[in-house]
Amino acid sequence: MPSPPTRIAGVDVARGVALLGMGAVHVLPLEDAGGDPTWVEHVASGRSAALFAVLAGVGLALAYGPRPSLPRAGAAVVVRAALIGGVGLLLGLLDSGLAVILAYYALFFVLVLPWLRAGPRALAASALAVAVVVPFISRAVRDDLPDRDTASPDPGDLLEPVQLLSELLLTGYYPAAVWAAYLLAGLAVGRLALGSRRTALGLVVVGAALAAGAMAASALLLGPLGGLDRLRDVARVPEGETLEEVVQASRFGNVPTDSAWWLATDAAHSSTPLDMLATTGSSLMVLGLALLVSTRLVAPLAAAGSMPLTLYTAHVLVVATTDTDDPTRYYLTQVVVALVAATLWRRYLGRGPLEAAVAAAVRPLRRTRT
């Protein structure tokens, strides 16, 4: 069965890139033998998950169109979110050692429902406001919230809804109150003419400028404007590391609250304003490049990107049930198997199995456009 004609191959290619990047972060070393960051840390850490979230917003825009019927579309989005979140909670039962994103991902969808009918300008402005303002609100309230309990919520956490909601919204690895900015940005992009080469080039240019501007602003705030000097008074620097290394280390969702200057960093996975802007920019750039590339050259990547829920779930299952002393071979084996399996499945069966199950569940609640 062929893919639905309304699919945009470049979006699937970008989603495939996000999947491969997240897999690399999960499997390959982030530091070399000397303790220096590897290419995975420099290139994929933080950016791959952000790209995954931005593309979720793009997917929403493409699935429901610019003016969806809110009761039906909203119900469909909620059911979709519940199913994805349910898969995420079940994966949290596994001893994978991964911070599974799906429970957070489900909440992303629910949080952006009020913007489902908004136009691209309103969406872009809202994305900017959330990315810049909410990290400051988060810093102000996080000390009064329960500490993060787990990297990956599981069904047992439903018995403590306040703790679970606190983690999913603000204290967890992918704080949805902040990361909703990615979906809003993706919704804005999804309202554009993605089949246009001009749009694709614009995404590359705007994305590169946004990423570079955020990185430059962080360097200015931490350097000439004195941010590092302020952080020197509060930061704990382990022996053998420098303050700069501590500030730029991956933060797994949030920075400390003991100084507002932590929010000047653009460190990977820190959910600061400048991290959000830089990773949104890199996501737009990747999507623009994916829209420009010849799909025939990267058809397996597009096939993988058309079934992200299935392949992400399979990846977590593999990591939880297998081990290796050769991370590079382990990763490349997973990549090859995923690309081949996705290509064959898409060619002969169409949607990925989990995607098909979710689509079947929401079909009665939404219009027929896919």
Spell out the domain ranges in the chain: 9-27+38-191+280-365
pLDDT band at 78 (very low <50, low <70, confident <90, very high): very high
Sequence-distant (≥ 6) Cβ neighbours of residue 278 within 8 angstroms: 210, 211, 214, 215, 218, 266
Report whether pLDDT(1) > 60: no
Which range is least confidently modeled, 17-26, 145-154, 184-193, 211-220?
A: 145-154
Which range is least confidently modeled, 14-18, 211-215, 296-300, 350-354?
A: 296-300
pLDDT at 255: 94
Token couple for 220? 């200015």
| Coil/strand/helix, residue 31 | strand
Mean pLDDT of 321-336: 95
CA distance 287 to 293: 10
Mean pLDDT of 13-22: 97
pLDDT at 368: 44
Residue type, 131: A
pLDDT at 242: 87
Q: Are 56 and 342 in contact (CB under 8 A)?
A: no
Nearest to 35 by CA among 212, 202, 240, 208: 240
pLDDT band at 366 (very low <50, low <70, confident <90, very high): low
Report whether pLDDT(273) > 70: yes
Please state the pTM of the whole predicted model. 0.94
Report whether pLDDT(117) > 50: yes
Place of tokens 């949104």: 280
pLDDT digits (tens, 9 = 90+) for 35-48: 788 999 989 999 99
Mean pLDDT of 20-27: 96
Nearest to 281 by CA among 125, 54, 120: 54
Report whether pLDDT(6) > 60: no
Mean pLDDT in the chain? 92
Mean pLDDT of 259-274: 95
| Coil/strand/helix, residue 37 | strand
CA distance 362 to 30: 39
Mean pLDDT of 320-332: 95
More confident residue, 7 or 157: 157
pLDDT at 3: 39
HSE, side-chain direction, 13 A CA sphere, residue 370: 15
Mean pLDDT of 93-99: 94
Q: How far is CA 307 from the centre of its chain?
A: 15
Selection from 26-35, 113-122, 141-150 with the highest mean pLDDT? 113-122
Q: What percent of the chain has pLDDT over 90?
A: 81
Cα dist. 82→2, 31, 58, 77 in Å? Answer: 27, 36, 19, 9
pLDDT band at 33 (very low <50, low <70, confident <90, very high): confident
pLDDT at 370: 35
Q: Note the helical H segments in the chain.
A: 9-27, 39-43, 47-64, 70-91, 102-111, 120-141, 161-166, 176-190, 197-222, 227-231, 243-248, 273-292, 299-305, 308-321, 327-348, 353-362
Q: Are 114 and 184 in contact (CB under 8 A)?
A: no
Any idea of the CA torsion for 37, 277, 101, 357, to the nearest 10 degrees?
-130
pLDDT band at 2 (very low <50, low <70, confident <90, very high): very low
Query: With 0-12 CB in 10 A as exposed, 13-18 as middle and 19+ as buried, what is 122?
Result: middle
- Please report the sign of the dihedral spanned by the C-alpha atoms of residue 102, residue 103, residue 106, residue 111: negative
pLDDT at 69: 78
